[in-house]
Copies of this chain bind each other. A is one copy, B any other.
């Protein structure tokens, strides 16, 4: 999660909300990404989606079983849906997102028995550091 936090700083550097993500496979980091919505003017360029795409490219397959995604903020609906589609094994996240989170806040997509894949979820890892980073970004913008 320390690496995801450092990656998130790169997003803040170009005016994007600081969210960082990485994908680990066989104890190796196969993808590292940060939020680029503003930088790329792409509504889908969240850290998680970019990390999943990079990991799939690195492994040469769209099924990411055997992988864990780490992210500094609770994923939104789009990203949680993407994690399920990628059949990833595990999600580890830092700060909760009470307004738009789809992993326990507004929805709980990764553990919905109606969808065709479920994943293990670990929340609250380095949560304080993740929240601090987000708060600092928004405080500076006001």
Binding site for B on A (CB under 8 A): 37-38, 40-46, 49, 52-53, 56-57, 60-64, 76-82, 84-87, 99-100, 102, 106-107, 109, 112, 114-116
Contacts and interface: CB of A to CB of B under 8 A. Distances in A.
A76 B83 CA distance: 12
State the copy count for this chain. Answer: 2
8 contacts: A41-B61, A42-B56, A42-B57, A43-B53, A44-B85, A77-B78, A80-B81, A81-B102
A77 to B, nearest CB: 3
Nearest to A54: B42
4 tightest A-B CB contacts, nearest first: A78-B81, A77-B81, A43-B86, A43-B62
Nearest to A112: B106
A84 B43 CA distance: 9
